[in-house]
Amino acid sequence: MKESTVKVLDDKDLEFAETLRSLGVQRNVAILITYLANVDEASSRDIEMGSNLRQPEVSIAMRALRENNWVSEKEVRRGGKGRPMKVYSLLTPIDEIIKHFEEEKQQESAQTMESIQKLKELILS
């Protein structure tokens, strides 16, 4: 039997994921970003075990990362028969992902302030 080690999220990682959540990021996406930011690459199974997400949750969250071009995916053949294993890594550095959320929130804030200004103008006219 082969022995392997899998990194798991610690309290600081969970705090990071929760902070992403406070910005409106879905729970599983936040956990997946946090996990991948802490490893060079990981198989789907490693992600499941290390992040305590189930396989369908990983797949759905991975789709969101793919849509943003934040993750790379490669297939690795294992010895013998069977399907190749998918290995994932962050394609975009974590600071750029954070910048994406920063810009998104700044834009939302600007739109909110525009609406408030419009309300003020409408009430005066």
Tens digits of per-residue pLDDT, 62-74?
999 999 999 999 9
The answer for 72, left when phi > 0, alpha when psi is -120 to 50, beta otherwise, is beta
The pTM of this model reads 0.85
3-state secondary structure the chain: CCCCCCCCCCHHHHHHHHHHHHCCCCHHHHHHHHHHHCCCCEEHHHHHHHHCCCHHHHHHHHHHHHHCCCEEEEEECCCCCCCCEEEEEECCCHHHHHHHHHHHHHHHHHHHHHHHHHHHHHHHC
The tokens for 74 are 């490669």
**In DSSP terms, which residues pair with 75 in a beta bridge?**
86
Residue type, 63: R
The Cα–Cα gap between 45 and 54 comes to: 9
Mean pLDDT across 42-65? 93
Contact 9, 34 (CB under 8 A): yes
The pLDDT of residue 96: 96
Pick 121 or 3 by higher pLDDT.
Answer: 121
* Separation in Å, CA 31 to CA 41, 75, 76, 95: 15, 22, 24, 16
